[in-house]
Amino acid sequence: MKCRGMKLKQLRIRKRKLGKTGYNFVFGLVLTAVMVGLIILGFFWSPYDPEAMQGSLKLSGPALAHVFGTDQFGRDVFSRILVGAGNTLIVALGTIVIGGGVGILAGAVTGYFGGWLDEILMRVNDALAAFPSVLLALVIISVWGTGKYKVMLALGIAFIPSFARIVRGEFLRCREEDYIVSARLIGVSAPRILFVHILPNIMPALLSALAIGFNNAVVQEAGMSYLGIGVQPPDASLGLMLSESQTYLASGPWCAIFPGIFLILLILGVNMLGEGILDRFGGGR
Amino acid sequence: MLKVENLSIYFEDNGKIQEAVRDISFQMQDREILGIVGESGSGKTMTALTIAGLTKEHEILERGSILLDDTDLLKLPPAEMRKIQGKDISMIFQEPMTALNPTMKIGKQVEEALILHTVLSKTERRKTVIRALEDAELDYPDLLYGKYPHELSGGMRQRVMIAAAIVCKPKLLIADEPTTALDVGTQESILKLLKKLNRKYDMGILFISHNLRVVNELCSRVLVMKDGVILEEGMTREIFENPRTEYTKELIAAIPGHTRSTAFYELLCAEAGE
């Protein structure tokens, strides 16, 4: 037909412009990449053994040999930050994998099917959500004991309700969309509808929820290590370093400042990335 | 091919039972294009969705049967029904802008029914999808295969929907107001396309519309529905020339300048050699 040529033009991919909204995304991506890069580096290499004590160099300030100084046992702060941030990252990632994984599953099933299953799971969810998540994690840890992986599990369980609620709302919204009705009408099975047809459509909301969850998990881990129930010494974690350095704030402030800055930058990066993703890909919804 | 007998559909709404469709019966022959016209709330879409196998939670089906080649669809367990959906019966919707999944590529969406209902290999599936897109009169199907819905116009999306619906060559295509959201020019071309597919693949079409003019252009036979019952049934031409009920007369009178479209119908018939 005569208008076909016009239609071909519409097919050409429009290039996305890097406008106001691109700023969060790009900056967050760069910052996150740098921080995670440093942490990954810490898994394989650090300037000094993070647990090696040097009696002669207790609380010495930043210098060429020890760029971030040394702590009260003469351990290199930079090495401990790299390794400690690794532990923090593992706990945070584990938390969102557990919390996000179970939350997505529960939210998807309850949101899509509804009915009595929805009622039961959501009431359990409400009961979980009724406790502040830190309190819940504290209870779980006092029952199971402390340690990196137990903190992960405790925080993960404590994070389930918020994910489940967000995901449920999104599935509820998508369930009645025409394209989901179409999928049902060509005989697509329920699991495939949930995870192949709907899940990609809720990605913007889900990714930013995961980014926020990640940040909360980092802060919570730091808080729990600070309270002495998270990562146990001589292991390092950012929260533990902050907690240990509290006594020496006057004589060695660098022991607190550098882990603190690292923590802030990591959270800032992931937070901006999360917002950037929502701005960039979720704007039209 | 399709035989609907004594079908009634009710809703339960806060304990109150509401009637949507009351005791309707009709038949469709192979290759027939049957139109259902009626206003909003007349039960025409409910009937179509029930035939396509989509029932909602609050819906009660009381007695009646829907026979597709001697299989009673209402008695099939859900797993069996899913094998028929998309293969023997498929459906296209009114709103082309929302009926395609925004996160799936065109090719994948058309392919979905093939993955479910055939044992074709990946390359064979791709070929079949490209052929379906060509059948739906879309140009550059290879290019379209990897596009997302937002890159297409409304008319093109409606054609993609049609391609997805016919990719398994169903016996029955249910079209629920497929032209309502389109402009008049695109409407005509979609109607012609449906007519062509009907002839090419011997596919029965159940065409639902509130627009008697459109039905007149496409359908050989028509049902007029109002408030959940069939008021009138017959050959489109007869009903048009000689409406028996007041309601049908009103519907015909509501067509702006309907004499012109009768002329168009004559033209189509002449084209078809009928």
Q: Residue B84 and residue A186: Cβ atoms within 8 Å?
A: no
Measure CB to CB from residue A201 to each of B103, B117, B140 and give the nearest one: B103
What local confidence, expressed as pLDDT, does residue A273 receive? 86
The answer to whether the beta carbons of residues B268 and B217 sit under 8 Å apart is yes
What local confidence, expressed as pLDDT, does residue A72 receive? 76
What local confidence, expressed as pLDDT, does residue B107 receive? 92
What local confidence, expressed as pLDDT, does residue B257 receive? 62
- In chain B, which residues have their Cβ closer than 8 Å to the Cβ of A184? 54, 85
Do the domain assignments include residue B154?
yes
Whether B254 has a pLDDT exceeding 70, the answer reads: yes
- In chain B, which residues have their Cβ closer than 8 Å to the Cβ of A197? 101, 104
* Mean pLDDT of the region A52-62: 73
pLDDT tens-digit series, residues A207-265: 888 888 888 888 888 888 878 787 777 778 888 888 888 888 888 888 888 888 988 99
Compare A143 and A17 and report the one with higher pLDDT: A143
What local confidence, expressed as pLDDT, does residue B198 receive? 92
Q: Which of B103, B157, B161 to mutate to test the interface with A (most CBs of A within 10 A)?
A: B103
Measure CB to CB from residue B85 to each of A187, A197, A203 and give the nearest one: A187
DSSP structural state of residue A60: P
A7 band by pLDDT with thresholds 50, 70 and 90 = very low
Q: Which of A182, A192, A195, A281 to mutate to test the interface with B (most CBs of B within 10 A)?
A: A182
How close, in Å, is residue A122 to chain B by CA atoms?
A: 20
Q: Enumerate residues 75 to 94 of chain B having a beta carbon within 8 A of any beta carbon in chain A.
A: 81-87, 90-91, 93
B64 band by pLDDT with thresholds 50, 70 and 90 = confident
- The 3-class SS string of chain B reads CEEEEEEEEEEEECCEEEEEEEEEEEEECCCCEEEEECCCCCCHHHHHHHHHCCCCCCEEEECCEEEECCEEHHHCCHHHHHHHECCCEEEECCCCCCCCCCCCCHHHHHHHHHHHHCCCCHHHHHHHHHHHHHHCCCCCHHHHHCCCHHHCCHHHHHHHHHHHHHCCCCCEEEEECCCCCCCHHHHHHHHHHHHHHHHHHCCEEEEEECCHHHHHHHCCEEEEEECCEEEEEEEHHHHHHCCCCHHHHHHHHCCCCHHHHHHHHHHHHHHHCC
Tell me the CA distances in angstroms from A218 to A94, A116, A237, A239, B192, one per residue in order.
11, 36, 10, 9, 61
- In chain B, which residues have their Cβ closer than 8 Å to the Cβ of A182? 91, 93, 99, 161, 164
pLDDT tens-digit series, residues A84-119: 888 888 889 999 999 999 999 999 999 998 888 888
Q: Which of B98, B106, B112 to mutate to test the interface with A (most CBs of A within 10 A)?
A: B112
pLDDT tens-digit series, residues B19-33: 888 888 999 988 899
DSSP structural state of residue A146: -
Q: How many domains does chain B have?
A: 1
Interface of A with B (CB under 8 A): 1, 4, 7-8, 10-11, 13-14, 114-115, 177-189, 197, 200-201, 203
Q: Enumerate residues 23 to 62 of chain B having a beta carbon within 8 A of any beta carbon in chain A.
A: 52-54, 57
Whether A8 has a pLDDT exceeding 60, the answer reads: no
What local confidence, expressed as pLDDT, does residue A284 receive? 44
Q: Residue B86 and residue A187: Cβ atoms within 8 Å?
A: yes
* Mean pLDDT of the region A1-14: 45
Do the domain assignments include residue B124?
yes
B151 touches chain A (CB under 8 A): yes
Q: Which CATH number fits the domain A72-281, given the four candidates 1.10.3720.10, 2.10.77.10, 1.20.210.10, 3.40.50.10330?
A: 1.10.3720.10
pLDDT tens-digit series, residues B202-252: 899 999 988 888 888 889 899 999 888 898 888 988 888 888 888 888 888
Mean pLDDT of chain A: 82
- Could you tell me the residue range of the domain that residue B96 belongs to? 89-169
- In chain B, which residues have their Cβ closer than 8 Å to the Cβ of A8? 139-140
What percent of chain B is predicted at pLDDT more than 70? 91
- In chain B, which residues have their Cβ closer than 8 Å to the Cβ of A186? 85-86, 90, 112-113, 116, 164
What local confidence, expressed as pLDDT, does residue B75 receive? 84
pLDDT tens-digit series, residues A112-131: 988 888 889 889 888 888 88
What local confidence, expressed as pLDDT, does residue B126 receive? 93
Measure CB to CB from residue A10 to each of B53, B87, B153 and give the nearest one: B153
What local confidence, expressed as pLDDT, does residue A100 receive? 92
What local confidence, expressed as pLDDT, does residue A192 receive? 92
Q: Residue A188 and residue B112: Cβ atoms within 8 Å?
A: yes
- What's the CA gap between B166 and B156, in Å, rounded? 15
What local confidence, expressed as pLDDT, does residue A10 receive? 45
Compare B270 and B16 and report the one with higher pLDDT: B16
Do the domain assignments include residue B149?
yes
B196 touches chain A (CB under 8 A): no
What local confidence, expressed as pLDDT, does residue A167 receive? 93
What local confidence, expressed as pLDDT, does residue A130 receive? 85
Mean pLDDT of chain B: 85
Compare A3 and A170 and report the one with higher pLDDT: A170
Do the domain assignments include residue B196?
no
B13 touches chain A (CB under 8 A): no
pLDDT tens-digit series, residues B121-159: 999 999 999 999 999 999 999 999 999 998 898 889 999
How close, in Å, is residue A189 to chain B by CA atoms?
A: 8
- What's the CA gap between A15 and A10, in Å, rounded? 13
What local confidence, expressed as pLDDT, does residue A282 receive? 59
